[in-house]
Structures are given as structure tokens and as C-alpha cells.
Amino acid sequence: MVENRPVLNVITHLVLILGIVIVALPIWITFVASTHDAVRMTQAPIPMLPGGHFWENFTQTLLGSGLSGTETAPVWRMLLNSLAMALMIALGKIAISLISAFAIVYFKFPFRMMFFWLIFVTLMLPVEVRILPTFEVVADLGMLNSYWGLSIPLIASATATFMFRQVFLTIPDEMLESARIDGAGPLRFFWDILIPLSRTNIAALFVILFIYGWNQYLWPLLITTDTDMTTIVMSIKQMLEAAEQSPQWNIIMMTALLAMLPPVFVVVAMQKLFVQGLTETDK
Amino acid sequence: MASITLKDLVKAYGDTEVLHHVEGEISDGEFIVVVGPSGCGKSTLLRMVAGLETVTSGTIRIGDKVVNQLEPADRDIAMVFQNYALYPHMSVRENMAYGLKIRKISKDEIARRVEEAADILELRPYLDRKPRQLSGGQRQRVAMGRAIVRNPQVFLFDEPLSNLDAKLRVQMRLEIRKLQQRLGVTSIYVTHDQVEAMTLGDRLMVLNGGYVEQFGTPIELYDRPATTFVAGFIGSPAMNFLPATVSAGMATLGNGAQLANAGAANGAVTLGVRPEHLLQDDAGPVRVTVELVEQLGANSLLHGKLEGTDIEMVVSQPGHMSAAAGTVMGFAPAAGALHLFHAETGKRIEP
């Protein structure tokens, strides 16, 4: 729309700025809290401007033992755990879904549609619903306190399978026929044609799934008892309840800030592909 | 190079038979056009030869090998698709080289063949572009290049020109024909455009509703159409069909007009005469009430109705002509230009 109404412009800007303030304020408070010392953070009113203890808090949180007086793992270890879990979940989900969507779209086998609907039905069974039986299985397999235990139960994904199915259905049949005449077998077709054509969709899904994996709370809480296997998201909550003392907000907020960084980095790095993957329809 | 033999070929989906006992001999190096209206089974036939559709019964032979059970890649064919089916993420060079790469042909040989094909098709400046950076005609050429580099025994074309604009279509039509003559590869070309069919094919196979109506050279089909379907399909504008009764060599039209030289038939027939074979003759037996004249410059098309009836007629006259709507003009068919068809079966009755 081409319009020239100054009043309307001012109003729209005000609305947008208000929206940004509402979204950004908690993040600002997190940042400010991470730059003061522990004593200042227990006094009211809480500061709204940054203090001078950022690097001190940063090194203590990331490399030191985090909260003083507790036995938790250093935050760099938690970040590593979270990163491993999120990557395994995202890449695992993408790999499994690509293969199952490939089977469902391009192969004729008995009960094909039944399998598709079975996969689809699992959408109704998120981790929280099946958490007890899943825990039992993982415990019996001896995967408690391991990266496998953290990621494998979350890897099966109906959403991603369904999405790749839709992507594959938009690829014209001639592409498959052309590849068959060129002499490409199913696996070659998969690697040489399907994967490159779904590149942007894979990237978009990776972003979504990475954040999904990174933000997992309940499942890691349940199956990790070893402090070496704690993930960063669950540890923030644990820090609040730490050993009979008032919460050390500066350290907790610094942890929260560090927990936010990897997802932000992934989104920023893959922004272009992410948008293309969600909007592009041309094959 | 190879000949192709289709023997008693049937294709059915469940209980519905879509191709009925198709027979055909295609000799080495021949350019065959399969033509018919949409839904007549022409693409299915081509895809069966390509190996993309299974054969219900009958045999397809390429050279001296029965290929019914072979994968498309093992049939030594190349196919050009209607929407080109180029791989969008590969450059022109990679698109052309892909089939060769899978066949594990050496890098030098691939480069040599791709460049040779690119020279033939004048694609050299575009080798490193992606398909989406090319125009429709250029994409078409890449699709052909992909077929040429394979050096196959048979080319299959599935309506390759239908996505191009009219001018480019004429140009590409000529190029395809020249290319085929130069390479001498046996080709099957599917189209619904009868002009394309007439100009390209050594021989034409006219399909209608899954049946082969006629299989012959363009001139055979034009001069001696086997059925009313072929007669109406080949030639533009289409042949005029007039119901008539024949006795003792004289045909009587619906409005009572009589034509001589109507051959040996007897009883009810359909009389066919091409618009360009009606010559203006004030005393002629075919009298047409003019409705509209289309001036095309080189010739004029006169649309009207057979006088006193509702039968639509078209007459083509060389040069310029004008006539007011409502006037009645007389025409006589040129000698030997009358076609007679059985009134019910539509089959040709030889004079």
C-alpha cells in the first residue's frame, strides 16, 4: 500500500515500539541482572541499568562451578550437554523423517497408508503423555545418564515426516521418471535429487527442531541424575532451589543469558534458508 | 540404432482397458509421430515404450530384444518430457552429464560428449547456468541435449513443444526434425497438434480412444483417410462431412443436390470433402449459404451452411474473396476429391 498519513505512521510506530519493549524487557532485565554482584541483586528496587561485574560473573558462571557452595557441573559442561542433545535430536529427527517420508511417498508396499496414519497418530502422543513407559524402556536399555537416553526417545517425529511427505509430493513425477531413465536407482535419486531439492526445508526444520531439543526440560530432568549430564535449561530451575540460601540472581541470569545464545546463533545463521524453506513453493 | 516392434500391445488399469491391441513396426531411423486428442492413450503408449508404465499384455521389442521387463535405464532410450524435467539444482552441464556419470563413463568422455551436444544445440554459453536462468526454448534444448549425450538407440518425445509460444514452437519443430535426420536415431514423438504431426513425422499413428485408427505417411493419411476420425483430424481446416444417399454412382445430399462420381457404394454414406477441394462454380452442385468470410491473405475461408440445411461447411479459396452474409454460392468438388465413409462405422469405402 502506498499511503501518506503522518498520524497513522506515528501510531503504527508506537504500536510496534510498544511490542518490542514488551518482548525485550525481560531479556534486558536478564542482561542487567547478570552484570551486578550478588548483594546488589538482593536489594530492592532491582537495578535497571547495567553494573560493572559482567566479566566476573561470566567467568565464574561459564568456567567456575557456577553457584558458590553447590556441587553442580560448570556451565560450559551443561552447554555442551545441551548442544549435544539438541543436535542429536534435530539431526536424528531429520534423518529418520527424510527416510520414512521417502518410503511413504515413493514406494508401494502393503499397508503403506496404514503406516502413514500410524506415524501421524503419534502426533497425539508427545513426550509428556508417554513419559513413564518411555522412561521404563530407556532405563531397561541402560541409557539413563547418557546422550543416547537424552536424545533417542525424542527423535521419532510425525511432524517432520509429514512435512517432508508434503515437500516430496510437490516434486513433479517427471523428475523421478527422468532420473529412472538416467539410470538412477532409489538411493541415488534420494541423495542426488531429493535431498538437494529439500535443502531449504531441511534447514527450516533444523532451526525449529534444534530449538525444540534445546528447550527440553522434563525429559532431561527425569533421566539424568549425574551432575555431569545436566542440561542448561534444567539447571536454571535447579539453581533457584539450591542449598538453603537466597538465589544468586547474577549467576542464574548469566546462565539464562548463556542458554539463550546458541538458539539465537542458529536462527541468525540460518535465517535466509529458514525463510526460504517456509515460503518457497517453486520446485 | 534400432527398429521397434509393438505386438498386440494392451494396457489396462484394473478392468479398464485404455490401449487396445496396438500393432506397429517402426524401422531403424524412422521418425514416428503418435497423434490423437487428449485422453486417447498416446502418452501411455510412449511411456510403455519408455518403461515407465508396465505392459498388461503383448510385447515391445527394441532391436531384437524384448524389453517388457527391462528398467527404463536398461532399454537404451532417452526421453524428452513435456515440462522438460530438468534437475533444478544442477547446472546445464551437470544436467546433461548426470546420466553418463551414473553409467560410470570417464570424465574426459563425459566432457567431450556434453560439449559436442552443446555445440549442436548452441548451448555452449549457458553450460554453467541453472535451468531457472534459461528461457523456455533454451530449457527445451537442454532437455534434448540430455537425450543426445546418452547416444541412445531411441528418442522418445512427450509433447515437448506444448509449453512454448507459437513462434518458438515452429522453430524448435524444424530443429528437432533436422537433429533427428542428422543423428538418424529412431524416434517416437507424441503430440495432439496435427500440424506438428504432419510436418515432423515420416509416418503418423493416429490414436483414438485407445485404438489405432490409421498408421501411415502424412500424405497417405491426407489423401486416403481410413476413417471419418482421421479425415476430420488431419488437415486444417477440417474436412466437411455431408450425409448422403448413394445409388448408381450418384450421391444425393440432404437438400436434394446430386453429385456424380460417387463410387461403388450403395445406400447411406457420409460424404467427405476437404475445404480446399471445393472449387467455385456457379453451376456447381454444392450450394453454400455464406455466414462469414475469414481473409487470411493467401487464401480466404468461407464459413456457412449447406443451402437449406443446418450442416456447417467451410470452403477455402485461394486469394482474396468477399461475400456478404446470406448470399448463396455454388461449388463443385475437384476431380477425385470426394471421400466416402460408411454412415454407421465411419470406415472408408474405396471408390
Which cell is A283 given? 520446485
Buried b / exposed e over A118-144, threshold 16 CB at 10 Å, is ebeeeeeeeeeeeeeebbeebeeeebb
A174 touches B: beta carbon within 8 Å: yes
Clarify whether residues B40 and B127 are in a common domain.
Answer: yes
B177 assigned to some structural domain: yes
The span from the CA of B220 to the CA of B121, in Å, is 33
Residue B248: all three cell numbers together = 448408381
Residue A70 reports pLDDT greater than 70: no
User: pLDDT at position A66, please?
Assistant: 56
Average pLDDT of the residues in B242-269: 80
Mean pLDDT of B189-200: 91
The closest alpha carbon to B59, from B67, B71, B50, belongs to: B67
In order of A110, B43, B45, B101, B152, the CA distances from B54 in angstroms are: 19, 13, 10, 27, 21
The CA distance from A177 to B28, in Å, is 25
B248: domain range? 237-349
Chain B interface residues facing chain A, Cβ-Cβ under 8 Å?
50-52, 71-73, 77-79, 81-83, 85, 87-89, 98-99, 102-103, 146
The residue of chain B with its CA nearest to that of A196 is B89
| Interval B312-341: pLDDT, tens | 999 999 888 888 888 899 998 888 888 889
Q: Are residues B49 and B177 in the same domain?
A: yes
Instruction: Name the residue among B87, B177, B181, B197 with its Cα closest to residue B139.
Output: B87
Q: A256 near A83, Cβ under 8 Å?
A: no
What is the nearest CA distance from A190 to chain B, expressed in angstroms?
13
**Residue B38 confidence (pLDDT) above 90:** no
- Residues A131, B8: Cα–Cα separation, whole Å: 62
Give the number of other CB atoms < 10 A from CB of residue B74. Answer: 12
Asked, for residue B50, whether it belongs to a domain, the answer is yes
Average pLDDT over residues B221-226: 92
DSSP label at residue B256: S
For residue range A179-217, what is the model confidence (pLDDT) as tens digits?
999 988 899 999 999 999 888 889 989 999 999 999 988
B98 to A182: CB separation less than 8 angstroms, yes or no: yes
CB within 8 Å of chain B, chain A residues 63-82? none
Q: What pLDDT, on a 0 to 100 scale, did the predictor assign at position A62?
A: 77
Pair (B189, B268) in one structural domain: no
Q: What is the CATH number of the domain that holds B255?
A: 2.40.50.140
B232 inside domain: no
Q: Which residues of A touch B146 (CB under 8 A)?
A: 182
Q: Rounded to whole angstroms, how far apart are CA atoms B250 and B257?
A: 10
Rounded to an integer, the average pLDDT of A113-126 is: 86
* Strand residue runs (E) in B65-202: 65-66, 77-80, 154-158, 186-191
Structural domain spans, chain A: 6-62, 75-279
Of B194, B209, B227, the residue that ends a domain is: B227
Average pLDDT of the residues of chain B: 89
- How far apart CA B78 and CA B148 sit, in angstroms, is 8
- Indicate the pLDDT class of residue B274, thresholds 50, 70 and 90: very high
**Residues B287, B330: contact at Cβ < 8 Å?**
yes
B225-240: b (≥16 Cβ within 10 Å) or e:
bbbbbbbbbbbeeebb
* ipTM at complex level: 0.81
Q: For residue B100, what is the DSSP state?
A: H
Q: Report the residue count for chain B.
A: 351
Residues B196 and B296 in one domain: no
Q: State whether B90 and B214 are in the same domain.
A: yes
Q: Which of A63-72, A161-170, B130-139 has the lowest mean pLDDT?
A: A63-72
* Distance (Å) of CA B80 to CA A142, A175, B204, B247, B260: 56, 12, 19, 52, 50
Sign, CA torsion A217/A222/A226/A229: negative
Q: What was the pLDDT predicted at B46?
A: 93
Cell 536489594 sits at which residue?
Answer: A43
pLDDT (mean) for B229-241: 91
Number of domains chain B contains: 2
- The whole-angstrom separation of Cα A119 and Cα A101 is 10
In this model, does residue A159 exceed pLDDT 70? yes
Contact call for A178 and B77, based on CB within 8 A: no
Q: Note the pLDDT of residue A245.
A: 67
Under the banding of pLDDT at 50, 70 and 90, the label for residue A71 is low
Mean pLDDT in residue range B239-243: 91
| Confidence (pLDDT) at A1 | 57
- Do B181 and B304 belong together in one domain? no
CA A23 – CA A9 distance, rounded (Å): 21
**Which residues in chain A are contacts of B99 at CB distance < 8 A?**
181-183
To which residue does cell 490423437 refer?
Answer: B36
The H or E element that residue B286 is part of is strand B286-295
Give the pLDDT score at A238: 78
B299-306: strand order across its sheet:
B278-280, B328-333, B286-295, B299-306, B312-318
Tell me: do B242 and B213 sit in the same domain: no
A188 to chain B: which residues are within 8 Å by CB? 102
Q: Which residue has the higher pLDDT, A278 or A100?
A: A100
At residue B275, what is the residue type?
P
- Give tens-digit pLDDT for A3-56: 678 888 899 999 999 999 999 999 998 888 888 877 777 777 777 788 777 888
A195 touches chain B (CB under 8 A): no
Better pLDDT: B277 or A46: B277
pLDDT tens, residue by residue, B77-117: 999 998 888 999 899 999 999 999 999 999 999 999 999 99
Rg of chain A (C-alpha set): 24
DSSP state of B314: E
Of B162, B194, B227, the residue that ends a domain is B227
> What SS3 class is residue B163?
coil
Q: Which residue has the higher pLDDT, A244 or B148?
A: B148
Q: Distance of CA B213 to CAs A267, B34, B201, B234, Å?
A: 63, 11, 16, 12
Same-domain status, B178 and B211: yes
Q: Judge if B96 and B168 occupy the same domain.
A: yes
Does A181 contact B72 at a Cβ distance shorter than 8 Å? yes
Q: Do B159 and B302 have their domain in common?
A: no
B87 and A188 within 8 Å at the Cβ level: the answer is no
Is the Cβ–Cβ distance between B198 and B204 less than 8 Å?
A: yes
| Residue B186 and residue B40 share a domain | yes
What integer pLDDT is reported at residue A97 of this predicted model? 93
CATH number of the domain encompassing residue B110: 3.40.50.300
Distance CA B219, CA A202 (A): 56
Q: Which residue has the higher pLDDT, A264 or A41?
A: A264
Interior CA angle at B43 toward B39 and B49, to 5°? 145
- What sign for the dihedral angle of Cα A176, A181, A186, A189? negative
**pLDDT category, B266, cuts 50, 70, 90?**
confident
Q: What mean pLDDT do residues B136-162 have?
A: 90
What was the pLDDT predicted at A83? 92
pLDDT at A281: 58
Spell out the CATH class of A75-279.
mainly alpha
Res B256: pLDDT: 80
**pLDDT score, position B217:** 94
Tens of pLDDT along B46-61?
Answer: 999 999 999 999 999 9
3-class DSSP assignment, residue B95: helix
Looking at the DSSP bridge assignments, the partners of residue B26 are B4
> What is the three-class DSSP state of B13?
strand
Average pLDDT over residues A224-231: 83
B290 in a domain, yes or no? yes
Nearest residue, CB atoms, A175 vs list B52, B85, B146: B85
B202, B94: one domain: yes
B197 and B191 in contact (C-beta within 8 Å)? Answer: yes
Apex B347 CA angle, B345 and B351, nearest 5: 135
CA dist., res. B321 & res. B303, Å (int): 12
Tell me the β-bridge partners of B207.
B212
Q: Please check whether residue A182 touches B, CB under 8 A.
A: yes
DSSP string of chain A? -----HHHHHHHHHHHHHHHHHHHHHHHHHHHHTTS-HHHHHSSSPPSS--S-HHHHHHHHHTS-SSTTS-PPPHHHHHHHHHHHHHHHHHHHHHHHHHHHHHHHH---TTHHHHHHHHHHGGG--TTTTHHHHHHHHHHTT-TTSHHHHHHHHH--HHHHHHHHHHHHHS-HHHHHHHHHTT--HHHHIIIIIHHHTHHHHHHHHHHHHHHHHT--HHHHHH--SGGG--HHHHHHHHHT-TTS---HHHHHHHHHHHHHHHHHHHHHHHHHHHHHHH----
pLDDT at position B324: 86
